[in-house]
A and B are shown apart, each in its own frame.
Chain A
Amino acid sequence: MIKIIQLLKENPDMIQLLKENKLSLVGINEIEKTAILDAFEEDIKQKSGYWS
């Protein structure tokens, strides 16, 4: 999971491709994929809540 998040942070374009199912992450199942995508969404929404 760590390596995947690092990869997505370094290549943010991949997040959109992942959302559109145009990209497949080897070793990551559907639940983990959704969890990761939600985490990127959640972080944006809650950043002010966590870090204000």
Chain B
Amino acid sequence: MGDNSQKIKKAIIKIISNEVLIKEVLKNMIITFIEKEQFSFGELCVLHYEEYCGNFDHEIYEIAAAIELIVIAFDIVDDLQDQDKPYIWTETPELSLNAVLVMLTVASKIIRNSNFEHAQSALNHIEEYILSSINGQHLDLLNQCNDETSYLQMIEMKSASLSVMSCVVGTVLATGKVSEEIIQYAKALGIIQQIKNDIHGLKDWNQSNDLLNKKYSLPIIYLFSMDHPLSFQLKRYYQGDRFPLNTEEINNFVIDSGALQYALAIKNVYKSGALLAIENVVTNKEFKSYLKKIMK
């Protein structure tokens, strides 16, 4: 499966390098941005295409490259908006935003110009899921999803839209259609990854910590629901009161309160539904095992 990542990376480098309408300095910047990526979204696209196609067309790696360009572009925008992580693209945000515009334009061009019979249908799906993800990102930035239902709806839009897009595009290019089961497990995959990120978002007391940044996530929603002095203290902190937070005390509160178990339980509910959908729809043993592994 790892071989696909290398092929997707090569496809991105080739596409960007051969694009005559982009200046060298922009090309170099984009190629630097993709250097350390895992290409797991593009890989999902390739694997879904491979699972359902009759004859494997290697042009799928260019489509997977387009998917990756979109996802990396969204990742860059997210990091620039959050201003919470020191990544290569946060060094010069104004230039990175320019690179993002190029990446999205090139991605659209790749799919529009592809020879796949169902390319237009794939592009329609991509536009649908891109807009859904942007809506989710907007809700996340507003930081108003402070209960379980609204938070899960938000991450379904923001994060799961991108995993669904990857799986749907691969399947649609292979068959022209997509089943509800595939959408279900692809959605769960995105939500599961986001919940894992939420748990890690409380681990370190640095500039990425969700509590310090007054962000909401499932474990934080749990902490806020508690009748506990530290819960009230955190609420005051979120409301803008200024006072020193005892991070060790709050760290122990996070661990002992059940906040982690709560987030993990919600994750497990999605995982359970996803595993059932995978069993029902995926026939290839290796592919099934891959999907189950990334659901963990």
Where the two chains meet, the residues of A that have a C-beta atom closer than 8 Å to any C-beta of B are: 1-2, 5-6, 8-9, 31-32, 34-36, 38-40, 42-43, 47, 50-51
Smallest CB separation, B26 vs chain A (Å): 39
Where the two chains meet, the residues of B that have a C-beta atom closer than 8 Å to any C-beta of A are: 148, 199-200, 203, 221-222, 225-226, 251, 255-258, 260-262, 264-269, 271-273
Which residues of the other chain, A, contact B203 by a CB distance below 8 angstroms?
Answer: 50-51
Which residues of the other chain, B, contact A1 by a CB distance below 8 angstroms?
Answer: 148, 262, 265-266
Smallest CB separation, A19 vs chain B (Å): 14
User: Which of the residues B148, B225, B272 comes within 8 Å of A34, measured between beta carbons?
Assistant: B272
B257 touches A50 (CB 8 A): no
B269 touches A32 (CB 8 A): yes
How far is B83's CA from A7's CA once the two chains are assembled, in angstroms?
A: 37
If the complex has contacts A1-B148, A6-B226, A51-B203, are A32 and B265 also in contact, measured as CB distance less than 8 A?
yes
How far is B262's CA from A6's CA once the two chains are assembled, in angstroms?
A: 9
Count of inter-chain pairs, beta carbons less than 8 A = 64
Closest 3 CB pairs of A and B: A35-B268, A39-B264, A9-B258
A35 touches B265 (CB 8 A): yes
Is chain B's binding surface mostly helix, strand, loop or mixed? helix
If the complex has contacts A5-B261, A6-B258, are A31 and B269 also in contact, measured as CB distance less than 8 A?
yes
7 A–B contacts from the bound complex (CB under 8 Å): A1-B148, A2-B221, A8-B258, A35-B271, A38-B264, A47-B255, A51-B255
Is chain A's binding surface mostly helix, strand, loop or mixed? helix
Which residues of the other chain, A, contact B267 by a CB distance below 8 angstroms?
Answer: 35, 39
10 extra A-B contacts, CB within 8 A, seeds A34-B268, A35-B269, A39-B261: A2-B148, A2-B225, A5-B265, A6-B226, A9-B257, A32-B269, A38-B265, A42-B264, A51-B251, A51-B255
A39 touches B257 (CB 8 A): no
Which residues of the other chain, A, contact B261 by a CB distance below 8 angstroms?
Answer: 5, 8-9, 36, 39-40, 43
Which residues of the other chain, B, contact A31 by a CB distance below 8 angstroms?
Answer: 269, 272-273
Which residues of the other chain, B, contact A2 by a CB distance below 8 angstroms?
Answer: 148, 221-222, 225, 262
Which residues of the other chain, A, contact B255 by a CB distance below 8 angstroms?
Answer: 47, 51
User: Which of the residues B148, B251, B264, B266 comes within 8 Å of A43, measured between beta carbons?
Assistant: B264
